[in-house]
Chains A and B, each alone.
Chain A
Amino acid sequence: MSDQLAIELVGVDKRFGQVHANKDIHLKVKKGSIHGIVGENGAGKSTLMSILYGFYHADSGEIRVDGRKVSIPSSQAAIALGIGMVHQHFMLVENFTVLENVILGAEGGALLAGGMSKARAELKRLADDYDLKVDPDALIEDLPVGLQQRVEILKALFRSADILILDEPTGVLTPAEADHLFRILRVLRDEGKTVLLITHKLREIMAVTDEVSVMRRGEIVATRQTSKTSMGELAELMVGRRVLLEVEKGPAQPGRPVLTVENLTVRDARGVDVVRNVSLEVRAGEIVGIAGVSGNGQSELLEAIAGIRAVISGTVTVDGTRVDLTQGGTDPAAMRGLGLAHVPEDRHRMGLVTRFPECENAILGYHRDPAYGRGPFLDFDRIRKAAKTEIEKYDIRPAECMLKTANFSGGNQQKIVLAREIERDPVILLVGQPTRGVDIGAIEFIHKRIVALRDAGKGVLLVSVELDEIRALADRVLVMFDGKVVGERAPETAESELGLLMAGASGQEAAE
Chain B
Amino acid sequence: MTAGQLPRWVDYGLMPALNVAAAFLVSGLVVLLIGENPVEAVKVLVWGSLGWNEGIGFTLFYATNFIFTGLAVAIAFHAGLFNIGGEGQAYLGGLGVALACLALDRYVPWWVTLPFAVAGAAAFGAAWAFIPAILQAKRGSHVVITTIMFNFIAASLMVYLLVNLLSKRGSMQPETRTFESGGRLPLLQDVLPGTNFGSAPVNFSFLLALAACLLVWVIVWRTRLGYEIRTFGANPVAAVYAGISPLRITVVTMLMSGGLAGMMAINEIMGSQHRLLIEFVSGYGFVGIAVALMGRAHPVGIVFAAILFGMLYQGGAELAFEMPAITRDMIVVIQGLVILFAGALEHMFRPALLRIFGVLAARPAPAA
A368 and B231 CA atoms in complex are apart in Å by: 13
Contact partners of A406 in chain B: CB under 8 A? 2, 4
Asked if residues B358 and A353 are in contact (CB atoms below 8 Å), the reply is no
CB distance from A32 to the nearest CB of B (A): 34
B161 interface hit (Cβ, 8 Å): no
Asked if residues B361 and A365 are in contact (CB atoms below 8 Å), the reply is no
B105 interface hit (Cβ, 8 Å): no
Asked if residues A404 and B241 are in contact (CB atoms below 8 Å), the reply is no
A307 and B225 CA atoms in complex are apart in Å by: 21
Residues 325-368 of B, flagged 1 when their CB comes within 8 A of A and 0 if not, give: 00000000000000000000000000000000010011001001
Residues 10-27 of A, flagged 1 when their CB comes within 8 A of B and 0 if not, give: 000001111111000000
A18 and B225 CA atoms in complex are apart in Å by: 35
Asked if residues A364 and B231 are in contact (CB atoms below 8 Å), the reply is yes
Asked if residues B240 and A332 are in contact (CB atoms below 8 Å), the reply is yes
Contact partners of A17 in chain B: CB under 8 A? 1, 3, 5, 358, 361-362, 365
B224 interface hit (Cβ, 8 Å): yes
Asked if residues A377 and B224 are in contact (CB atoms below 8 Å), the reply is yes
Asked if residues A377 and B222 are in contact (CB atoms below 8 Å), the reply is yes
B235 interface hit (Cβ, 8 Å): yes
Contact of B227 among A16, A20, A350, A378 (CB under 8 A): A378
Asked if residues A368 and B241 are in contact (CB atoms below 8 Å), the reply is no
If A356-B230, A407-B5 touch, whether A364 touches B224 (CB-CB below 8 Å) is no
CB distance from B10 to the nearest CB of A (A): 13
Contact partners of B230 in chain A: CB under 8 A? 353, 356
Asked if residues A367 and B237 are in contact (CB atoms below 8 Å), the reply is no
Asked if residues A364 and B238 are in contact (CB atoms below 8 Å), the reply is yes
Q: Which residue of B lies closest to A407 (CB)?
A: B1
Asked if residues B241 and A350 are in contact (CB atoms below 8 Å), the reply is yes
Asked if residues B222 and A353 are in contact (CB atoms below 8 Å), the reply is no
Asked if residues A351 and B365 are in contact (CB atoms below 8 Å), the reply is no
Contact partners of B228 in chain A: CB under 8 A? 367
B103 interface hit (Cβ, 8 Å): no
Contact partners of B323 in chain A: CB under 8 A? none
Contact partners of A367 in chain B: CB under 8 A? 224, 227-228, 242
B35 interface hit (Cβ, 8 Å): no
Q: Which residue of A lies closest to B368 (CB)?
A: A18
Asked if residues B227 and A360 are in contact (CB atoms below 8 Å), the reply is yes
A406 and B224 CA atoms in complex are apart in Å by: 22
Contact of B234 among A307, A332, A356, A376 (CB under 8 A): A356
Asked if residues B1 and A376 are in contact (CB atoms below 8 Å), the reply is no
Residues 52-92 of A, flagged 1 when their CB comes within 8 A of B and 0 if not, give: 00001001000000000000000000000000000000000
> Chain B CB within 10 Å — which of A349, A354, A355, A367 has the most?
A367
Asked if residues B368 and A16 are in contact (CB atoms below 8 Å), the reply is no
Asked if residues B238 and A353 are in contact (CB atoms below 8 Å), the reply is yes
A373 interface hit (Cβ, 8 Å): yes
Asked if residues B243 and A331 are in contact (CB atoms below 8 Å), the reply is yes
Chain B stretch 78-123: residues in CB contact (< 8 A) with chain A: none
A500 and B348 CA atoms in complex are apart in Å by: 55
Asked if residues A16 and B1 are in contact (CB atoms below 8 Å), the reply is yes
Chain B stretch 227-251: residues in CB contact (< 8 A) with chain A: 227-228, 230-231, 234-235, 237-238, 240-244
Residues 381-403 of A, flagged 1 when their CB comes within 8 A of B and 0 if not, give: 00000000000000000100000
CB distance from B365 to the nearest CB of A (A): 6
Contact partners of B173 in chain A: CB under 8 A? none
Chain B stretch 171-206: residues in CB contact (< 8 A) with chain A: none
A360 and B1 CA atoms in complex are apart in Å by: 19
Asked if residues B241 and A344 are in contact (CB atoms below 8 Å), the reply is yes
Q: Which residue of B lies closest to A18 (CB)?
A: B365
Contact partners of B3 in chain A: CB under 8 A? 16-17, 56
If A16-B2, A18-B365, A364-B238 touch, whether A333 touches B225 (CB-CB below 8 Å) is no
Asked if residues B223 and A377 are in contact (CB atoms below 8 Å), the reply is yes
Chain B count of residues within 8 A CB distance of the other chain: 27
Contact partners of B231 in chain A: CB under 8 A? 353, 356, 364
A308 interface hit (Cβ, 8 Å): yes
Contact partners of A350 in chain B: CB under 8 A? 235, 237-238, 241
A506 and B3 CA atoms in complex are apart in Å by: 51
Q: Which residue of B lies closest to A334 (CB)?
A: B243
Asked if residues A59 and B362 are in contact (CB atoms below 8 Å), the reply is yes
Contact partners of B5 in chain A: CB under 8 A? 17, 404, 407
CB distance from A330 to the nearest CB of B (A): 9
Chain A stretch 347-380: residues in CB contact (< 8 A) with chain B: 349-356, 360, 363-365, 367-368, 372-373, 376-378, 380
Contact partners of B2 in chain A: CB under 8 A? 16, 406-407
A453 and B33 CA atoms in complex are apart in Å by: 74
CB distance from B298 to the nearest CB of A (A): 14
Contact partners of B222 in chain A: CB under 8 A? 377-378, 380
Asked if residues B362 and A351 are in contact (CB atoms below 8 Å), the reply is no
> Chain A CB within 10 Å — which of B3, B5, B225, B234 has the most?
B3
Contact partners of A200 in chain B: CB under 8 A? none
A332 and B244 CA atoms in complex are apart in Å by: 8
A336 interface hit (Cβ, 8 Å): yes
A407 and B4 CA atoms in complex are apart in Å by: 9
Asked if residues A349 and B224 are in contact (CB atoms below 8 Å), the reply is no
A189 interface hit (Cβ, 8 Å): no
> Chain B CB within 10 Å — which of A332, A336, A363, A406 has the most?
A332
Contact partners of A352 in chain B: CB under 8 A? 235, 238
If A17-B1, A367-B224, A407-B2 touch, whether A332 touches B358 (CB-CB below 8 Å) is no
A283 interface hit (Cβ, 8 Å): no
A342 interface hit (Cβ, 8 Å): yes
A21 and B243 CA atoms in complex are apart in Å by: 38
Contact partners of A353 in chain B: CB under 8 A? 230-231, 234-235, 238
Contact partners of A20 in chain B: CB under 8 A? 365
Q: Which residue of A lies closest to B242 (CB)?
A: A365
CB distance from A5 to the nearest CB of B (A): 29
CB distance from B72 to the nearest CB of A (A): 21
CB distance from B4 to the nearest CB of A (A): 8
Contact partners of A380 in chain B: CB under 8 A? 222
Asked if residues A365 and B223 are in contact (CB atoms below 8 Å), the reply is no
Asked if residues A349 and B361 are in contact (CB atoms below 8 Å), the reply is no
Asked if residues A308 and B241 are in contact (CB atoms below 8 Å), the reply is yes
A121 and B237 CA atoms in complex are apart in Å by: 44
Contact partners of B243 in chain A: CB under 8 A? 307, 331-334, 336, 365, 368
Q: Which residue of A lies closest to B364 (CB)?
A: A18
A448 and B365 CA atoms in complex are apart in Å by: 36
> Chain A CB within 10 Å — which of B224, B358, B368 has the most?
B224
Contact partners of A354 in chain B: CB under 8 A? 235
Asked if residues A378 and B242 are in contact (CB atoms below 8 Å), the reply is no
Contact partners of B358 in chain A: CB under 8 A? 16-17
Asked if residues B234 and A364 are in contact (CB atoms below 8 Å), the reply is no
Chain A stretch 220-274: residues in CB contact (< 8 A) with chain B: none
Contact of A308 among B223, B240, B365 (CB under 8 A): B240
A342 and B240 CA atoms in complex are apart in Å by: 13
Contact partners of A306 in chain B: CB under 8 A? 241
Contact partners of B224 in chain A: CB under 8 A? 367-368, 372-373, 376-378
A404 and B46 CA atoms in complex are apart in Å by: 39
CB distance from B315 to the nearest CB of A (A): 37
- Sample of 15 A–B contacts (CB below 8 Å): A16-B2, A17-B3, A17-B358, A17-B365, A18-B365, A59-B362, A332-B240, A333-B244, A336-B243, A351-B238, A364-B231, A364-B242, A367-B227, A377-B223, A378-B222
With A354-B235, A407-B2 already in contact, 14 other A-B pairs whose C-beta atoms are closer than 8 Å? A17-B365, A59-B362, A308-B240, A308-B241, A332-B242, A333-B244, A353-B235, A364-B241, A367-B227, A367-B242, A377-B223, A378-B224, A404-B5, A406-B4
B: residues with CB less than 8 A from A are 1-5, 222-225, 227-228, 230-231, 234-235, 237-238, 240-244, 358, 361-362, 365, 368
5 smallest CB-CB distances across A and B, nearest first, come from A333-B243, A365-B242, A17-B361, A332-B243, A16-B3
